[in-house]
Amino acid sequence: MKSSSLSSYPIDFLKKLLKDMLLIRRFEEKCGQMYGLQKIGGFCHLYIGQEAVAVGSIAALDLNRDYCLTAYRDHGHALACGLCPNGLMAELFGKATGCSRGKGGSMHMFDITKGMYGGNGIVGAQIPIATGMAMRFRYKKEKGVVLCFFGDGAIHQGVFHESLNLAKLWKLPIVYICENNQYGMGTDFHRVSAVEDLSIKGAAYNIPGKQVNGMDVLEVYEEVLSAVNQAKEEGIPTLIEAKTYRYKGHSMSDPGKYRSKEELESYKQQDPILILKNQMVDAKILTEEEYQSYDEECKNISNESVRFAEQSPEPSLSSLYEDVLA
């Protein structure tokens, strides 16, 4: 383990990281179930396996003033930013009580009061948007930072390169986090990337790049925190490649036939939740019973979110024309 020993962290902080990851895991499992029951329509991209990236990174933010943006695999980031699971599930159900009032669905979770500036259904679309938001901090001379999450597919979009150039040129406080879960839909990233180490892509713009183990929440936290501080204090943007893995298909309609069972199993052995849990148990700051009670709590919260969503009203017909123009 690259991160410093557990003893340097407050126990409550470690427990929060663990609980946040567990909640994402249980919530996402519930989403999968509800999709299977056709309660959730359209497309639904689960975050299971990648929990340490969102939780570790977002723990480095001050959500009262910093911004977080991501793409369509956004339930995990929303939960890590502290959005209420009830509002998220209701959004997935397309109900009026959803965090986007039932009009956005899985890919469009927003709550600007919690620093969550949204998912986005278009691959790479959030990268220049996040870059523009970072301009605000610089222009207003405010201390804040933008975390911009995207995948190994999005890094090949032209806007990635345009944005990194501007971020460096304008000295923007932004941390680009490429969640490399190895597959752009069904395409192994090696088949479409000229380089294996995606973190070197910042080099053309003189932006520092780092690879981190995205299955280790503390390593993610430490690297992102150091990049966040550098961004806030010195206006230096960073590109971080978090090596991670999604256990489920690209979306619920993807059976994931492009990878072997053995590969999937080998990543499950490096499960981000188990890594932290085992470290904490070894350090005698967590008991198996405590862990079970957290797990129970997260399952209950997820069940409650379904109940809330089920009982919520549907958006009215007239809401179709709401918000088309200001």
Q: From the list 32, 82, 121, 132, which residue makes contact with other proteins (rule: CB under 8 A)?
A: 121
Q: Which of 114, 136, 138, 156 binds other proteins (CB under 8 A)?
A: 156
Looking at residues 171 to 200 of the shown chain, list those that interact with other proteins (rule: CB under 8 A): 184-188, 191-193
CB 98 within 8 A of CB 260: no
CA torsion sign for 100, 104, 106, 109 is negative
Shortest approach of other proteins to residue 124 CB, angstroms? 8
For position 259 contacting other proteins by CB under 8 A, the verdict is no
Candidates 105, 115, 118, 202: give the one binding other proteins (CB under 8 A): 105
Taking the least distance from each CB to other proteins, the nearer of 300 and 319 is 319
Choices 96-104, 111-119, 229-237, 274-282; region in contact with other proteins by CB under 8 A = 96-104
Is 132 a binding residue for other proteins by CB under 8 A? The answer is no
Count CB atoms within 10 A of the CB of residue 271.
20
Ramachandran angles phi, psi of 24, nearest 5° = -60, -45
Q: Alpha-carbon Rg of the chain, whole angstroms? A: 19
Write the CB contacts of 24 (distance below 8 Å, at least 6 apart in sequence): 47, 48, 51, 54, 55, 75, 76, 79, 80
Question: Regarding beta strands 187-188 and 183-184, do their DSSP bridges make them parallel or antiparallel, or are they unpaired?
Answer: antiparallel
Which residue, 10 or 321, has its beta carbon nearer to other proteins? 321
Amino acid at 21: M
Exactly one of 1, 41, 206, 268 binds other proteins (CB under 8 A); that residue is 41
Note the residues at the interface with other proteins (CB under 8 A). 41-43, 94-95, 102-105, 107-108, 121-124, 153-154, 156-159, 184-188, 191-193, 258, 314-315, 317, 319-321, 324
